[in-house]
Amino acid sequence: MSGGTALNPKTAPPFPIAATAMVGNTQLRKNVRHATDVIQAKRARVVGEMPDWQALRDAGSAVREHTIRNLPFYLEQFERNCTAAGGHVHWARDAAEARAIVVRLAQEAIARGRTAPSIAGRPAGEPQGTHPGAGEAADGVALQGEVIKIKSMTTEEIQLNRALESVGIHPYETDLAELIIQLGQDQPSHIVVPALHKNRQQIREIFLREMKLEHLGESPQDLADAARRFLREKFLRVETAISGANFLIAETGGVCVVESEGNGRMCLTLPKTLITLAGIDKVVPRFQDLEVLLQTLPRSATGERMNPYNSVWTGVGKGYAAGDGPEHFHVVLIDNGRTEVLADAEARQTLHCIRCGACQNACPVYRETGGHAYGSVYAGPIGAILTPQLLGMHYAQSLPYASSLCGACYEVCPVKINIPEVLVHLRGRVVEENTGGLKTITNPEAMAMKAAGAIFRSEGRFRAAQRLGRMGETPLERRDGQGQKWVSWLPGMLGGWTNVRDLRAMPQQTFREWWEERERKGAPAGEAG
Amino acid sequence: MTESSAMSSREAILSRVRGIVGEARDADTVGLEWAALPRAYNAASAADRDAVLLRLIDRLHDYDAQVYRVSPEEIAGTVREIVSLLGLTEVLVPAGLAQGWLPDGVAFVKDEGFSPRELDRFTAVLTGSTLAIAETGTLVLQNLPGQGRRAATLVPDVHLCVVREQDVVATVPEAMRRLQATAELPTTFISGPSATADIEMTRIKGVHGPRFLHVLLVR
Ligand code: SF4
């Protein structure tokens, strides 16, 4: 059921080609723009409430940097404490190994469910172990079992669902957006709101068809009710769950999951076995550090002061807490290219990411193209720096160029990752790779990068370039009805941009010029700084 | 996968990380470095108690939760009112709940480790809480007497939660400091009823968790 062509950067078309197709999809662009507008407005409002927002960003950035610098210490500490609390920690170097571990753990859990007629502490007489094996997969192969899943980009990254299905285990996505994606045989296009490219009519059609409903209203409420009914039965029945993690707490061995719908809590507390997959970058030093991250993540991600539900649990619980949640708990720590990112000192800050998606919503390129053009589950600015690094630069070479370097992503990032800086650095690596590591300038791209580098390094040159640009584009400008100036044709390589969209003419005054003039005149009192 | 190859993956990853950032440093050195991290954000709030309580109520309303301000003696009566309004005769409660909170005429069923299906029989659950955070409108529940298992506050559609005014803090950092001693307990931060905005960014209440949250704020 979760078929479709998985987003695989190794086989995806280069960004410019994929993006051209997306830019032609008016409905998709409209849906993406609406969703990102709404989240951005909400985010701006709740971030504006926080007088200490910049201090929180600084603290978040410092905590992440400190963690990554001490990763061996914190990973071992997490493993020790999680194990002491009755959890089992596994390590996976790559996607294949992680898939193998999770599939084996799921198979073991399902087998346990079949052989155990009743479990101590749970009343007998409850139907036990009768469900696996019920139902048939589309190709007629009897299902050997089922698992429920919480939305997790890491499981998407390793394409876990297909691996589970190949051994006859059916994974039910329980996050509403992921359910829409799964039933629609689609792919996520955003790390926080994966189905934002679908509107309600499209979702209704998918639900009618896949849930085999006769009637279904069209309001978001009707659709959510249908999902509630469809999934409730699975929550009560399926005894194995798979989750991701937002944070692994080294100090306690605890795991934190942040969510809204309650599907996460269902998966974390009702099944007998819970398997959590997490990147080695997900560790945070102490419980107290959540005071920073729980303030910045929800506000950045969904524009809420706090997510409706955050869950923290440690192993299988001791003493009074035993029996609160699963009897078997596993954490699979996965590298899958993260140590490659670590090895590049200039791009290492990519690992600070807490996957809030704010940079996606703020990115003009993402907002025009939607997520699928990035060919990876990580779309937008974070995807543009993360994907090529996780997979090796020769895949996804075009991604570091899928940005206008406008800096909006850096501005909103709650842990202050300087994405533009990393993008420029990665572009340098792409050029280096394409020129065989030779520093000779052989292609126009390299030349342009070199020129851009020279310009950005000197303030004087940067200003001169802005003036030149303004003069150069003057003959190409035309005015629209509102008197705004637009450029609809650019020469040479730059034409790739204007083929599909108009470019706003450069303002007659740059921000710097405006600022300097304002300083000269004296800023009006009370103006927000 | 054999045990030994699992071991080798662990070693492979850790030794690669060590090769890049250096050997793991000792706990004291790491601890000192952690303690020196910049934390210039607001740890506490200067607002007075009334302002903090009003802020909590405002935030809870913002999430569509119902709030009742009551004295300790009024808890049972308010519970009865809510329960009769819902037309219920039976309410789930965790072990260790204060007896005085339970009105006569309503059957209270203690959670004895019910299976998910058995929990699904209940429409409402009544619990206490560890604390509440005004700034974010958040209730925090832990596995403690009177608060119970996480599943019990999740499956029923209505959650009645008692919060004592003395357990209300202004900010998230204040909450985390109070929770530090019991950091290892299963802990749930609840901010309003279950909600989603996955469909055209329209906020919808109650996808999978409780759809209705009633908060009894006790003087
Ligand atoms: S890079 Fe920053 S803004 Fe983008 S998802 Fe990660 S944490 Fe959020």
Q: Ligand 1, closest atom to CA A301?
A: 8
Tokens 């609160």 correspond to: A324
Output B208 or A160, whichever has higher pLDDT: A160
**Residue nearest (by alpha carbon) to ligand 1 atom 2:** A413
CA distance A395 to B154: 44
pLDDT at residue A19 in the model: 74
Q: Ligand 1, closest atom to CA A380?
A: 4
Name the residue facing A260 among B24, B196, B200 (closest C-beta).
Answer: B196
Is residue A299 lining ligand 1, measured as CB closer than 6 Å?
no
Could you tell me the pTM of the whole model?
0.84
Cβ contacts of B129 within 8 Å, gap of 6 or more? B139, B140, B141, B147, B161, B162, B163, B167
CA distance B77 to B80: 5
pLDDT at residue A501 in the model: 61
Antiparallel, parallel or unpaired: β B195-196 and B204-205: antiparallel
As given in the structure block, the two tokens for residue A322 are 């035993």
Is residue A359 lining ligand 1, measured as CB closer than 6 Å?
yes
Are A169 and A144 contacting, i.e. CB atoms less than 8 angstroms apart?
A: yes
CA distance B82 to A349: 51
The arithmetic mean of pLDDT across residues A515-523, rounded, is 73
Q: Which of A353, A366, A389, A411 to mutate to test the pocket of ligand 1 (most atoms within 8 A of CB)?
A: A353
Tally of CB atoms within 10 A around A223: 25
pLDDT-based confidence at residue A350 (cuts at 50, 70, 90) = very high
CA distance A173 to A152: 10
Name the residue facing A59 among B38, B136, B199 (closest C-beta).
Answer: B38
pLDDT at residue A130 in the model: 36
The 3-state DSSP class for residue A278 equals strand
pLDDT at position A527 over 50? no
Q: Does B219 touch chain A (CB under 8 A)?
A: no
Is residue A56 lining ligand 1, measured as CB closer than 6 Å?
no
The 3-state DSSP class for residue A62 equals helix
pLDDT at position A105 over 60? yes
Element holding B4 (H helix, E strand): helix B3-21
Distance from CA of A483 to the nearest CA of B (A): 33
Distance from CA of A313 to the nearest CA of B (A): 4
- Could you give the strand order of the β-sheet that contains B187-190, starting from the edge strand earlier in sequence? A283-284, A247-249, A254-259, A309-314, B187-190, B138-142, B131-133, B168-169
CA distance A189 to B23: 39
Is residue A414 lining ligand 1, measured as CB closer than 6 Å?
yes
Name the residue facing B21 among A31, A72, A100 (closest C-beta).
Answer: A72
Is residue A363 lining ligand 1, measured as CB closer than 6 Å?
no
Is residue A382 lining ligand 1, measured as CB closer than 6 Å?
yes
Cβ contacts of A363 within 8 Å, gap of 6 or more? A380, A381, A403, A408, A409
pLDDT digits (tens, 9 = 90+) for B135-187: 999 999 999 999 999 999 999 999 999 999 999 999 999 999 999 999 999 99
Residues in B touching A184 (Cβ below 8 Å)? none
pLDDT at residue B74 in the model: 97
pLDDT at position A419 over 60? yes
Q: Ligand 1, closest atom to CA A354?
A: 7
pLDDT at position A133 over 50? no
pLDDT-based confidence at residue A141 (cuts at 50, 70, 90) = very low
CA distance A170 to B206: 26
**Residue nearest (by alpha carbon) to ligand 1 atom 8:** A356
pLDDT-based confidence at residue A405 (cuts at 50, 70, 90) = confident
pLDDT-based confidence at residue A116 (cuts at 50, 70, 90) = low
Mean pLDDT of chain A: 83
Distance separating the N- and C-terminal Cα atoms of chain A = 52
C-alpha closest to that of B139 among B192, B208, B76:
B192
Tally of CB atoms within 10 A around A492: 7
- The alpha carbon of A409 and the centre of ligand 1 are apart by a number of angstroms equal to 8
pLDDT at position A253 over 70? yes
The string of DSSP codes covering B13-24 is: HHHHHHHHH-SP
Cβ contacts of A79 within 8 Å, gap of 6 or more? A89, A253, A333
Output A330 or A9, whichever has higher pLDDT: A330
Lowest mean pLDDT among A87-91, A329-333, A494-498: A494-498
pLDDT at position A493 over 70? no
Looking from the CA of B187 toward its CB, the CA atoms found within 13 Å total 26
pLDDT at residue B197 in the model: 75
Cβ contacts of A120 within 8 Å, gap of 6 or more? none
pLDDT digits (tens, 9 = 90+) for B45-102: 888 999 999 999 999 999 999 999 999 999 999 999 999 999 998 999 999 999 999 9
pLDDT-based confidence at residue A165 (cuts at 50, 70, 90) = very high
pLDDT at position A86 over 60? yes
pLDDT at residue A2 in the model: 37
pLDDT at position A136 over 50? no
CA distance A275 to A87: 10
Name the residue facing A288 among B143, B180, B199 (closest C-beta).
Answer: B180
pLDDT-based confidence at residue A3 (cuts at 50, 70, 90) = very low
pLDDT at residue A471 in the model: 61
Chain mean position to CA A221: 26
Cβ contacts of B16 within 8 Å, gap of 6 or more? A335, A339
pLDDT digits (tens, 9 = 90+) for A28-44: 788 888 888 989 999 99
- The alpha carbon of A124 and the centre of ligand 1 are apart by a number of angstroms equal to 48
CB contact under 8 A, A104 and B1: yes
Distance separating the N- and C-terminal Cα atoms of chain B = 58
- The alpha carbon of B74 and the centre of ligand 1 are apart by a number of angstroms equal to 47
pLDDT at residue A64 in the model: 98
Using a 10 angstrom Cβ sphere, with 0-12 exposed, 13-18 middle and 19 or more buried, the burial of residue A438 is exposed
**Torsion on CA atoms B155, A263, A231, A196, rounded to nearest 10:** 140
CB contact under 8 A, B25 and A70: yes
Strand partners, A481: none
| R_g of chain B computed on alpha carbons | 22
Distance from CA of B127 to the nearest CA of A (A): 15
Chain mean position to CA A159: 14
**Residue nearest (by alpha carbon) to ligand 1 atom 6:** A353
Residue A284's alpha-carbon distances to A254, A357, B34, in angstroms, are 10, 19, 11
Distance from CA of A470 to the nearest CA of B (A): 39
Buried b (16+ CB within 10 A) or exposed e, A118-157: ebeebeeeeebbebbeeeeeeeeeebbbbbbbbbbbbbbb
Lowest mean pLDDT among A21-25, A233-237, B134-138, B148-152: A21-25
Residues in A touching B180 (Cβ below 8 Å)? 287-288
Lowest mean pLDDT among A127-136, A351-360, B74-83, B142-151: A127-136
Q: Taking a contact as any Cβ pair under 8 Å apart, which residues of chain B between 130 and 169 contact chain A?
A: 133, 135-138, 143-145, 149-151, 154-155
pLDDT at residue A440 in the model: 47
- The alpha carbon of A104 and the centre of ligand 1 are apart by a number of angstroms equal to 32
Residues in B touching A127 (Cβ below 8 Å)? 117
pLDDT digits (tens, 9 = 90+) for A289-326: 999 999 999 999 989 999 999 999 999 988 878 889 99
Are A198 and B218 contacting, i.e. CB atoms less than 8 angstroms apart?
A: no
C-alpha closest to that of B209 among A270, A264, A211, A236:
A264
pLDDT-based confidence at residue A5 (cuts at 50, 70, 90) = very low
The arithmetic mean of pLDDT across residues A50-66, rounded, is 97
Tokens 């009024």 correspond to: B74
Percent of chain A with pLDDT over 70: 78
Are A363 and A354 contacting, i.e. CB atoms less than 8 angstroms apart?
A: no
Residues in B touching A123 (Cβ below 8 Å)? 112-115, 118
Distance from CA of A14 to the nearest CA of B (A): 29
The arithmetic mean of pLDDT across residues A186-205, rounded, is 85
Max distance between CA atoms of chain B, in angstroms, equals: 68
- The alpha carbon of A355 and the centre of ligand 1 are apart by a number of angstroms equal to 5
Is residue A355 lining ligand 1, measured as CB closer than 6 Å?
yes
pLDDT at position A114 over 90? no
pLDDT digits (tens, 9 = 90+) for A428-459: 888 877 776 555 444 555 556 666 666 666 66
pLDDT-based confidence at residue A467 (cuts at 50, 70, 90) = low
As given in the structure block, the two tokens for residue B54 are 């009003």
Cβ contacts of A164 within 8 Å, gap of 6 or more? A102, A103, A106, A147, A170, A171
CB contact under 8 A, A254 and B40: no
pLDDT-based confidence at residue B129 (cuts at 50, 70, 90) = very high
Is residue A386 lining ligand 1, measured as CB closer than 6 Å?
no
pLDDT at position B29 over 70? yes
| R_g of chain A computed on alpha carbons | 25
Tally of CB atoms within 10 A around A54: 12
CA distance A32 to A361: 9
Lowest mean pLDDT among A47-56, A400-409, A417-426, B40-49: A400-409
pLDDT at position B5 over 60? no
Cβ-defined contacts of A492-495 (< 8 Å, 24+)? A493/A444, A493/A448
Element holding A104 (H helix, E strand): helix A95-115
Interface test with B, best of A53, A288, A341, A346 (most B CBs within 10 A): A288
Interface test with B, best of A221, A243, A330, A339 (most B CBs within 10 A): A339
CB contact under 8 A, B41 and A66: no
Is residue A385 lining ligand 1, measured as CB closer than 6 Å?
no
Q: Does B58 touch chain A (CB under 8 A)?
A: no
- The alpha carbon of A198 and the centre of ligand 1 are apart by a number of angstroms equal to 23
Element holding A504 (H helix, E strand): strand A503-504
> Residue B38 is which amino acid?
P
